Structure 1
Amino acid sequence: MDLVERVEKEAELTRILSEFSAGKGAVVLLEGPGGSGKTELLHSIAGRARQGGSLVLHAGCSRAESALPFGVLGQLFSSMPTADGPVARLQALHRRLNAEATAEDPAHDTAAIGPGLARLLDEVTATLLELARTAPVFIGIDSIRHADPQSLACLLYLVRRTASAHVMVVLTDDTTAHRGLFRTELLDQPHTHRLALEPLTEDQVATLLARRLEPAEAERLADEFHTVSGGNLRLLRALIDDHLACGGVRKDGYGSAVLRQLGRLEEPVVAVARALAVLGSAEAPDRIARLAGVDDGTAVAALQTLASVGLVTGSGLSHDIAREAVLDDLAPEERTGLRLTAAALLHEQGCPPRDIAPLLIEADRPGGAWSVHVLLEAAEQELLAGRSQQAAAALEAALRAPVGSNAERASIESRLVQVRRLFDPATAERHLTALTAAARADELTPARTLDLVRQLLWQGRAAEAGELLDRLRTARPEAHSEAAALLDDTEKWLAWTHPTVARRTHRPAGRGRPAALLADALVNGRAHEVVGQAHQVLKDRGPTYDLSWPEEPALLALGVLLCTDSPDAAAWCDRLLREGHTPYSPTWMAMLSSMRAEAALRLGDLTGAVEHAQQALNHIHPGAWGVAVGAPLGSLVLATTRMGHYDEAGAYLTHAVPKHLFDTRYGLHYLHARGQYHLLTGHPHAALADFLACGDRMRAWGIDVPGIVPWRTSAAEAWLDLGNREQAARLAYDQLGRPGTNGARPRAAALRALAVGGPVARRPQMLSEALDLYERCGDRYEQIRILGDLATAYHELGDNRRARTHVRRARHLVGLCDAASLSEALLSFPDDGEEQTSPAGAGPGDGALLTGSERRVAALAVGGYTNREIAAKLFITASTVEQHLTRVYRKLGVRCRKDLPVELATSVTEAFVGQEA
């Protein structure tokens, strides 16, 4: 022990020991809070005394033996090395003391010293002094406050006579110990020395850490370890051992040291520590006192004691592990009782529900109607604060309370399912059976029953959902009631997402919630009519706590933007992902990421689609997705297939999916993606089966609109691969005549199918129109396919210049969207030895020299358009086109159109998307 504080005290003890060795008696009272190193210092000085030839007698006092008469004396005499002469007499005297004490007070209920005991104590003292005349006697007693009264009386007999005797007595005591008569008389002796040990300072903690840890680490941890240990040497050493063992704080390390420290304190102090562990804060000492069953003064004194031994920092226990250790040391029944008592006390004092709820949550069975009310209020407050998991814990605790009617309990459980769905829908499933039974027993309101229907459908339990829907439909709520409006809105949503259980309604358009109106427009192929409303829904979206319809309005609005190829769909997804959700919901983030993956696919951003789809499956694990897993999984399959990663796509297709997935819209995305996988891997028959299965479902469900999946044009591609151009043309013409095909994407897909299956002479015109439409959508993947088709058509027509131009542009786009599945055909395309790189002086960065008009003209020229075609597209004259091109050649240092950098072709999409925006 060579810390500064301890070195000074050890030096003082060494000086007193030197005087003792010279023949001068001494008494030392070594004081300090628990864990300050008193015992270690006592053992150190006793060792030195033994080395100096002293007879060392030692004893350790404990609370358990404090009622044993002369117990401490017995320990001292038992520690003597021999049993002859004075030692034998002392041991015999000890036996006589016990006998006399029993005779004077058989019950041992008093520490009174009668005449017989007094004579024996005098004889004991005389024998000890006789022993000291032959050799120095060192007596060390640890924790003197727990010594039995009879032994204390004997010690007082001795210390009064040791001033000139060769006897040194060292006692350790806590600074918080009771100031009794023994202590007072002891300190009154002129040869008594009082040495006080203080808790370690931060510098001393740092010094001790430096001996066990690296210097930089010791410096970093000094403040934290000093705060947590309070300078208590016992706690500090436990913290260091824990840090070396696991880099943290362990319950069986530091936690055990906390319990050992508590075990050395008085019962009222321990009771206050337990109350503090339950309440968590000592800011209201009167509350601590009531819970601990002590008066206010005792509680304040106990808190000071706990602070002095390093167990309390600020207004609470010094570490969470300390709190856990104290609570775990209680029997389960006692722990639960304390928590319920504390909760009732806080409720009585008008504390906020959020402060009371943790106590009720930790209790096994919260009792009383008041506790349920508190937990329900706390759950709503936690939701307002964005802490959905804490809200779920409060609702679960409310369910454990043995109070309330079946309907009330069903209402609580329904709310719990709503909350759980926010962060892990899979955990909500175990409640659905009980809630379904409650709904059948009419113990749920229509609104909660409809919410249960949505949860059942998410888990693929369509039969139960349909049964509950039929009950609501049969009940026929009043025409203009809230229940009727909710049912009607739900029917519209069901028609879009779960059409097998939907019943079409004929409510006039323009009525109902925004989500229902958007869903109705999507189902009926009128998405283009509600684009403005979709934007408004997304703009108005703010924090929402209505968990019965939390994310649907925004998701349906995004669906409208995707189905209409609005250029800002991806930007809205990104914005909503950045903003998050209040309360925070991994489920919401997962569904948004899935929508973002679909948006990336529609832009030909295959790498982005994979990234966002994987994020969707990371936010909540695939098993928690229920039937909706078809959306992100379908995006992963389609994107990896188009990237040419066929093994990866095939692995995704081996994932188990719910069997009822194919009864939902999400199943259509999965089926279509699987069909594309089959098509691109050379299995057109399997692909055709999947595409036609999509069509059969969409027609049967009444949602046969191309905005969902383009099954007709995909099936047409499969027919073309099988050599049946007639069937392919029939499907393409059929799509052109469908409602909702006024958008760019459906028409472009149909035109491509007709062009590829038609006469070569007609292909460039139809393919050029399709290319324009895909450029407007911003879909690079489809642009590559069209450019490849155009190159093939021009090559067959003998126009190799245009063919090469389109191939160069397609190859450039392949690199931008990582569409490896298309690169092989482009690389094998004959180019007649044409250079594929830009000429000197026409680097990619030179496009910055051009004005906006010049870039648009140059981009279309690179795309193979004639001056007249460019003029028609940009609504300018052919002469103006010629003037722009002349300036472009001069700025880029090229001689003719074929020398223009192919990178300029990307400006086509930017130009038209910018005009649309």
Structure 2
Amino acid sequence: MSMALTERTNELLALDEMLSACRSGVGQLALISGPVGCGKTEVLDAFAERALRAGALLLSATAKRSGAEVPFDVLVQLFGAGTAPGRLRAQMDRLVDAVPSTNPADAAGTQALRVLYAELLTWTTDRPVVITVDDVQCADRESLRELLDLASRLRRTSALLVFTQSDDENAATALVQAELLRNDHWRRIDLTLLSVEGVTALVRAQPDRTALPLSGADIHRLSGGNPLLVRALLDDLRGADPRRPDIAFGQAVVACLHRSSPHSLAVARGIAILGRPTGVGLLADLVELGQEQTRTALRRLELAGLVTGGDFRNPASGAAVLADLRPQERRRLHERAAELLYVQGASASTVARHLLETDGTRQRWTQRLLREAAEVAIASDDLDFACDCLGLAFESSPDDHERASVLARLAGVVWRRNPVAAVRHVSLLIEPSRRGLLSDRQVSAVARSLVWHGMTGEAMEVIDATGRAGGAGGDRRDAELGMIRRWLRSWHPPLSRMVPEVPRRPGTPDGAEVADEHLLGAALLSEVLTRGAVDVVRRAEDILRGCGTEVDEATLEPAEAALLALLYSDHADRALTWCDPLLAAAAERYAPTWSARLEAVRGEIALYQGDLPNAARYARAALDRIAPRGWGVAVGAPLATFIQATTMMGDLDAAGAYAKAPVPQEMFKTRFGLRYLYARGLYLSACERWHAAMSDLLTCGELAAEWEMDVPAFVPWRGAAARLYLKLGDRERAQKLAGAQLRGARQGLTRTAGISLRAMAACSGTHGRLQLLREAVEVLHACGDRFELASALADLHQVHQAMGERQRANAAFQQALRLATECRAEPLRRSLLHQSSDEHVESMVTKQPNGGLVKLSRAERRVTALAATGHTNREIAQKLYITVSTVEQHLTKAYRKLKVTNRADLAAACMPTMADSA
């Protein structure tokens, strides 16, 4: 049995019984009724085939709405078609010819109908006559009248009339119902939707049922058991076109609705527009029907399996209905829905979603509502919706002040997601800033965005407009200018000098003149980078505590600045404690820009701790999350971290790729340019391009001094330049630079002091170098920078070795090699191995308190020591004058004795613990 005839056996048997009954000369009349799409036509067609096989004369017609205005359209289909006997067709032709289109009920037409009926009666004497009319409720008025009259004339003949009729009520269905009640031999056959079992049986009957992603119960839930929709769903599932997953189902839904009553179609469209279950009152008002009419239409839609609980069973239904609407009508309905929902007090987000589907409106309430909806969306990280709301508010607002304010908010939201896309919005805010249409805080935000993108000329124009909004007084303007100047001082020192300096009032505590509290972090960072700040840890952590563990527009910048203030004050451990929770919080929000900025800070913290792999990883993540163009002048921060970390790890190809990447020239007027020049100088030095490296380092120093930002904890350029001068043979300049850096670092900056002591040691004689390096090791051990500590220990190893102190040299070597390996500082590790003797390497293994190590033979210990410190099998073979195969055999035995499976585990088993034996 076909899909359409599933669970239709009883209905067909009932029709068979009526056909048998009419053979005895008793006319029968059947009315097949049911929801649209439930298979009435299929049942009618199946019965027609059975009637033909049983020898009946079959006359069929299908009534259509398009033919409702054509007189006798259905009768012509019944008696004038090719399947009708010739004499009936001839009589039907005479009827059509005899009836003027203006008056079909004249005498000629009546006479023609009598002859036609008489001819039809003669055919009932030989065999049963079966007359079927599909969708009788759509029949033209003349045909319907004559069909009902014919039903009365054929009551005592071998005739069976079978009509199908939808459940939708109209004048035609009421007329048919009334006439049928007068017939003693009529039967109503009601078709219902398929059961879950029926749909499941259909699914099991599919040849590829195992590939279907939905079960029979799922398909029933989505289709309501409507056979037409079930078939469409199965077609879609078999098609599995990801670009058009619901095309057949959507077409079936639209077909069902267009075959339903106009009221049902209107209500379905209203449900699609509202997009969620609502009360009957709102739905009725939307589609402009009475509430009772709306309830009736809802019942019809539920009986058809399209709707349940006031909403579509399948979301694809709503999409299909909306797509079927003409754009103008769709916009009109959304506008009406927005107004009705607003009056009812619906949420701003709900109303705004309808406003976004309109052409825009200039009503005052819509502007306020769109902005309210945008703020809710921003808080829940739905930035696309927020941008849409703000965009519509901007386009439809007639007020210049309001438009400027909305645009400023929109620029901030877009920047949070994509700084490149925000440039266009920020550029549009320059003119409103000049005209005083923005608040001082908004002007400040615009200026900072322009500086970020390197548009300093435009930024100054905007800064000049500070204080114009709302007739702000002098105190307010001075406060705003002071805040902007302080922020620029830590970002773009040359530009900060162009902002008039605000005289500080006597007795005003430091930072109190900053009007905008969320820029207190910038004020602290400015102090750290310039004249030096006091009580940095307390002040920075107060700011961070005020930010909490959440990241948003108000907390990002102060948190970032406070973290950097801690870092540039040699408190990397404290910065790390605060940074990781903020980075995790940012990862939970849809804010790529926030995450990228915090990743850049996290990478810099890792660099200051000598965690080179994580420094490179976080910097690379920050650069991947935002395109370099989107970073603007701030791109120097992650670039510098990545270049410096990969240089220290010996990956000069990776460092070079980023060192050669184009950067904005304006960056070299910012603090980010200083870090970039320092990092690139280290890279060029590693490439042995001494003069180019020196040029970058000296330029970095000149700019730092010019900007009063010459802080060794920020960019220790003098130490790096001193080492280069040593390579170039200029010890005097090297000593001068190293000494100057050391003097600048003697103010409680532990890490910077350690780096500076090491630089000074490089310029000193053997005995002076030893003392300086011992102090450097002690200081660096306390600050936790593993790379700098490893470098200092490596230098100390060289000094002890030169002095013939083999035991001390060996202890320094072991610690330096372990730290270099942990940091993946490959150049430093290889340098150590190159400088060391075989006895140094072997002693790393033989002196460890690991019971397994003493079980190794001398040959196994020597091979194991070299393998643990990174030598390849071929290098070991060459160093010990044995074959590669012998190396492999020794390592296999060592693995078994030490119970390890790879070289990483072998290194962990052999490397010493940290001991202060230098």
Report the TM-score when normalising by structure 1: 0.85
Give the deviation of 1:476 after TM superposition.
14
1:422 is matched with which residue?
Answer: 416
Q: What is the aligned partner in structure 1 of residue 902 from structure 2?
A: none
| Alignment pair present for 1:555 and 2:547 | no
User: How many angstroms apart in 2 are the aligned matches of 1:226 and 1:845?
Assistant: 68
Q: Unaligned regions of 5+ residues in structure 1, if any? A: 106-112, 847-891, 893-898, 910-917
Provide the C-alpha distance between the structure 1 equivalents of 2:555 and 2:36, rounded to a whole number of angstroms: 56
Output one character per residue of 1:431-455: Cα deviation in whole Å (capped at 9) or x when no partner. 2232101112222232221111011
Match of 1:802 in 2: 808
- Gaps of at least 5 residues in structure 2 are 854-897, 899-906
**Equivalent position of 1:912 in the other structure:** none
Deviation at 1:677, TM superposition (A): 1.9
8 Å contact 1:27–1:170 — kept in the other structure? yes
Q: Distance in 2 between matches of 1:828 and 1:739?
A: 32
Instruction: Give 1:490 deviation, angstroms.
Output: 2.0
Mapped partners of 2:807, 2:250: distance in 1 = 81
Match of 1:469 in 2: 463
Structure 1 partner of 2:63: 61
Per-residue deviation at 1:809? 2.4
Q: Which moved more, 1:199-208 or 1:281-290?
A: 199-208
1:28-57 superposed Cα distances (whole Å, 9 cap, x missing partner)? 322221222222222233233334444433
Matched with 2:860 is none
Structure 1 residues 539 and 8, CA, compared in 2 at 3 Å: closer, same or farther? farther
Equivalent residues of 1:808, 1:902 under 8 A apart: no
Aligned residue for 1:604, secondary structure, equals coil
Q: 1:478 to 1:195 in 2, by over 3 A?
A: closer
Matched, 1:209 2:214: no
Question: How far has the Cα of 1:900 moved from its partner?
Answer: 13
Q: Counterparts of 1:167 and 1:753 in 2: how far apart (Å)? A: 115
Q: Which residue of 2 aligns with 1:838?
A: 845
Query: In 2, distance between residues paired with 1:475 and 1:60?
Result: 73
Correspondence for 2:450: 456
- Give matches, 1:864-883, under 5 Å: none
* Paired amino acid for 1:58: S
Contact 2:745 2:752 in 1 (8 A): no
Q: Deviations over 1:34-86 (max 9, x none)?
A: 2222222222332333344444333222222212111112223354337x632
Distance 1:633 1:16, change over 3 A: farther
SS of the residue 2:744 aligns to: coil
User: Structure 1: how far apart are the matches of 2:916 and 2:266?
Assistant: 78
Rounded Cα–Cα distance in structure 1 between residues aligned with 2:817 and 2:710: 35
Q: Which moved more, 1:767-776 or 1:224-233?
A: 224-233
Q: Distance in 1 between matches of 2:706 and 2:403?
A: 40
Identity of aligned residues (%): 34
What's 1:828 paired with? 834
Aligned-pair CA distance for 1:129: 3.4
Structure 1 residue 91 corresponds to structure 2 residue 92: yes
- Aligned partner of residue 737 in structure 1, secondary structure: helix
Pairing of 1:139-150 with structure 2 (within 5 A): 139-150=131-142
Report the Cα distance in structure 1 between the residues aligned to 2:64 and 2:646, rounded to whole angstroms: 73
Question: Would you say 1:40 and 2:42 are equivalent positions?
Answer: yes
Q: Does the CA-based 8 Å contact 2:433-2:465 persist in structure 1? A: no
Q: Distance in 2 between matches of 1:255 and 1:384?
A: 35
* Count of residues paired in the alignment: 846
SS of equivalent residue, structure 2 residue 29: strand
Q: Aligned to 2:356, what secondary structure does the other structure show?
A: helix
AA paired with 1:565? D
Q: Which segment is superposed worse, 625-634 or 289-298?
A: 625-634
- Relative distance call for 1:187 and 1:596 in structure 2 (3 A) is farther
Map 1:375-390 to 2 at 5 A. 375-390=370-385
* Cα distance change on mapping 1:13 and 1:665 into 2, 3 Å: farther
Following TM superposition, the consecutive aligned residue runs of length 4 or more in structure 1 with deviations greater than 6 angstroms are 20-24, 473-480, 543-546, 899-902
What are the superposed Cα offsets for residues 668-692 of structure 1, whole Å, 9 maximum, x if unpaired?
A: 3333222222222222222222222
Residue in structure 1 matched with residue 287 of structure 2 by the alignment: 292
Tell me which amino acid in the other structure corresponds to 2:560.
L
What is the Cα deviation at residue 593 of structure 1?
A: 1.3
Check conservation: 1:369, 1:403, Cα contact below 8 A.
no
Q: Which residue of 2 aligns with 1:310?
A: 305
Q: Deviations over 1:234-273 (max 9, x none)?
A: 2333333333323586464333222222211222222222
| TM-fit CA distance, 1:794 | 1.9
What does residue 335 of structure 1 align with? 330
Q: Does 1:175 align with 2:167?
A: yes
1:430 to partner: Cα distance? 1.1
Q: Does 1:243 align with 2:244?
A: no
Q: Kindly tell me: are residues 127 and 610 of structure 1, through their superposed partners in 2, closer, same or farther at Cα, counting changes over 3 Å?
A: farther
Q: Distance in 2 between matches of 1:307 and 1:714?
A: 79
CA contact (8 A) 1:545 1:582 kept: no
Match of 2:737 in 1: 731
Mapped contact 2:92–2:116 kept (Cα < 8 A): no
What are the Cα deviations for residues 272-294 of structure 1, in whole angstroms up to 9, with x where unaligned?
22222222234222122122111
Q: Deviations over 1:305-350 (max 9, x none)?
A: 2233333333333444433332333333322222222222222333
Q: Which residue number in structure 2 is paired with residue 905 of structure 1?
A: 913
Residues 608-637 of structure 1 deviation map (CA, whole Å, 9 limit, x = unaligned) = 223322332344443332222222232222
Structure 1: distance between partners of 2:832 and 2:58: 98
Partner of 1:413: 407
Q: Secondary structure at the match of 2:710?
A: coil
Provide, for residues 145-169 of structure 1, a one-character-per-residue CA deviation record: whole Å limited to 9, x for no partner: 2111222222223333445544433
Partners of 1:754 and 1:165 lie apart in 2 by 123
1:737 Cα deviation from its structure 2 partner: 2.2
Query: Is the 1:712–1:731 Cα contact (8 Å) retained in structure 2?
Result: yes
1:474-518 deviations in whole A, cap 9, x for unaligned? 999978744432321221111101222113655452423332431
What is the distance in 2 between the residues matched to 1:907 and 1:120?
A: 120
Which residue of 585, 592, 609 maps to 1:579?
585
Tell me how far 1:303 sits from its aligned partner: 2.1
Structure 2 counterpart of 1:867: none
The Cα shift of 1:461 comes to: 0.8
SS of 1:180's partner is: helix
Is the Cα contact below 8 Å between 2:490 and 2:522 reproduced in 1?
no
Alignment of 1:422-501 (within 5 A): 422-472=416-466, 481-501=475-495
| Aligned partner of residue 416 in structure 2, secondary structure | helix
Distance 1:497 1:89, change over 3 A: same
Cα distance in structure 1, aligned partners of 2:551 and 2:586: 14
Query: Structure 1: how far apart are the matches of 2:38 and 2:530?
Result: 80
CA distance in 1, matches of 2:66, 2:851: 89
User: What TM-score do you get using the length of structure 2 for normalisation?
Assistant: 0.85
Residue 75 of structure 1 pairs with residue 82 of structure 2: no
2:222 corresponds to which of 223, 228, 245: 228
C-alpha RMSD of matched pairs (Å):
3.3
**Cα distance in 1, alignment partners of residues 371 and 391 from structure 2:** 10
Match of 2:118 in 1: 126
Give the whole-Å Cα distance in 1 for the aligned partners of 2:915 and 2:204: 64
Contact 2:722 2:738 (C-alpha < 8 Å) held by counterparts? yes
Give the SS at the match of 2:30.
Answer: strand
Distance 1:391 1:573 in 2: 28
User: Where does residue 526 of structure 2 map in the other structure?
Assistant: 520
Q: Which secondary structure state, in structure 2, belongs to the residue aligned with residue 568 of structure 1?
A: helix
Q: Is the 8 A contact 1:384 1:583 kept in 2?
A: no
1:785 deviates by 1.7
* Equivalent pair of 2:550/2:582 in contact (CA under 8 Å): no
Q: Distance in 1 between matches of 2:355 and 2:274?
A: 12
What whole-Å deviation, never above 9, does each CA across 1:368-397 have from its counterpart, x for those lacking one? 122112212222333344434322221111
The yes-or-no answer on 1:538 pairing with 2:544 is yes
> Is the CA contact (8 Å cut-off) linking 2:31 and 2:165 kept in structure 1?
yes
Contact 2:271–2:277 (CA under 8 A) maintained in structure 1 = yes
